[in-house]
């Protein structure tokens, strides 16, 4: 039976990145690194709690890092004692690159899942959102933080996230209560000769002076030119913390923030100490900053360099190419875990028995 033939069954997707939090920032900043067994335990907690709240099927991204192997071993050992959803691994050959996340997201969209649970850092979540935005899909994601820089995914017990996703996927909490719209930065590189390129950042798009991508993870501040932020939280780790400590902009409030970095201290309006990676606080010379207004493109001043998307250099640009940053609001949806659980409590969705407890 095909996936589409069983859409009446509450179904979720899970994308668990086995190699998140293994970039150079983990070495230079003493960042944490979840072991494969820890990631497997997170997936198991999500699955069991989602099943308890009505999820019947779960489609999982396969991998070469050991998550699938450990999960299958665990399912065989506990299939009679634990009520798991029906588990199916997506029909794809993993490559241990970001292409796995891209392909898995497309397959989950085709299967018609109600929501996608993502385990990873900002980069993994961006990869999922990029595919959703390109497909103009409105399927929500629920993020769990397992990366190096985690400005976007919230730190939350996976059991609660699984329950909230299950309540939404099974239709017990309506979309109007369960889902929250999110902003992103739309990056457009125009090239009349080689063609235009587009990509997105769900937290920050940063311009650097580097002429090549090199090591993708960005952690040296002396190469920064400008940062364009969908939101700026003063409690964040990563490049978005620069904006968060200058002029906080909430996830849910309108607008974003553009920050211009000075080339040196002599041309700076001020210097700001910012936590650009776990355990790594650096002084950043600030030239200026201003609010971004939705759907109003901002042209960057640099003529060549790279664009880092959510902490990783992804796009190089050369003289003759123009780069624009545009804030998009209501661009994609996430499951509002706190709201789902509040609604469940208020409506008694998790109660049983003939007499409700007052």
CB 331 within 8 A of CB 231: no
Where the chain has pLDDT below 70, the residues are 1-7, 20-33, 148-149, 212-219, 354-358
Whole-number pLDDT of residue 148: 63
**Radius of gyration of the chain from its Cα atoms, rounded to whole angstroms:** 21
Task: Centre a 10 Å sphere on the Cβ of residue 197 and count the other Cβ atoms it contains.
Answer: 16
CA distances from 292 to 153, 210, 224, 247 (A): 22, 25, 19, 12
> In the chain, what are the helix, strand and coil shares in percent, each to the nearest 5?
30, 30, 40
Whole-number pLDDT of residue 3: 40
d(CA 313, CA 71): 33
Whole-number pLDDT of residue 85: 94
Q: For 135-200, give the DSSP string.
A: TT----EEEEE-SSS-SSS----HHHHHHHHHHHHTTSS-HHHHEEEEEEEEEEEE-TTT--EEEE
Vertex 123 angle, CA 121 and 126, to 5°: 110
Whole-number pLDDT of residue 203: 96
Mean pLDDT of the chain: 90
Pick the CATH number of 4-181+332-346 from 3.30.420.40, 3.40.309.10, 3.40.50.10330, 3.90.700.10: 3.40.50.10330
Whole-number pLDDT of residue 210: 82
What are the extents of the domains in the chain?
Answer: 4-181+332-346, 184-331
Q: What is the CATH number of domain 184-331?
A: 2.60.200.30
d(CA 151, CA 136): 24
Task: Centre a 10 Å sphere on the Cβ of residue 288 and count the other Cβ atoms it contains.
Answer: 13
């Amino acid at each position: 039976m095909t996936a589409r033939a069983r859409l009446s069954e509450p179904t979720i997707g899970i994308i668990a990145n086995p190699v998140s939090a293994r970039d150079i920032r983990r070495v230079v900043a003493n960042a944490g690194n979840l072991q494969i067994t820890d990631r497997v335990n997170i997936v198991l907690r999500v699955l069991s709690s989602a099943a308890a709240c009505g999820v019947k099927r779960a489609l999982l991204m396969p991998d070469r890092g050991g998550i699938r192997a450990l999960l299958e071993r665990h399912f065989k050992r506990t299939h009679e004692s634990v009520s798991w959803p029906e588990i199916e691994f997506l029909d794809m050959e993993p490559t241990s690159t970001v292409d796995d996340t891209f392909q898995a997201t497309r397959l989950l969209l085709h299967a018609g899942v109600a929501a996608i649970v993502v385990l990873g850092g900002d980069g993994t979540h961006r990869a999922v959102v990029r595919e959703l935005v390109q497909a103009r899909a409105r399927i929500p994601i629920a993020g769990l933080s397992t990366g190096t820089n985690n400005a976007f995914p919230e730190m939350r017990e996976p059991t609660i996230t699984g329950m909230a996703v299950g309540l939404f996927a099974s239709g017990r909490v309506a979309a109007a209560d369960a889902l929250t719209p999110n902003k992103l930065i739309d990056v457009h590189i125009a090239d009349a000769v080689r063609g235009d390129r587009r990509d997105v950042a769900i937290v920050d798009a940063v311009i650097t002076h580097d002429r090549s991508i090199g090591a993708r993870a960005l952690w040296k501040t002396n190469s920064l030119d400008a940062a364009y932020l969908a939101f700026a939280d003063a409690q964040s780790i990563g490049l978005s913390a620069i904006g968060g400590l200058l002029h906080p902009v909430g996830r849910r409030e309108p607008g974003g923030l553009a920050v211009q970095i000075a080339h040196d201290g002599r041309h700076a309006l001020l210097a700001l100490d910012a936590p650009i990676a776990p355990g790594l606080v650096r002084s950043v010379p600030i030239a200026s900053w201003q609010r971004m207004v939705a759907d109003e493109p901002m042209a960057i001043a640099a003529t060549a360099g790279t664009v880092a998307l959510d902490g990783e250099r992804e796009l190089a640009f050369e003289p003759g190419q123009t780069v624009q940053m545009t804030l998009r609001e209501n661009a994609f949806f996430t499951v509002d875990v706190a709201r789902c659980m509040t609604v469940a409590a208020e409506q008694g969705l998790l109660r049983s028995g003939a007499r409700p407890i007052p």
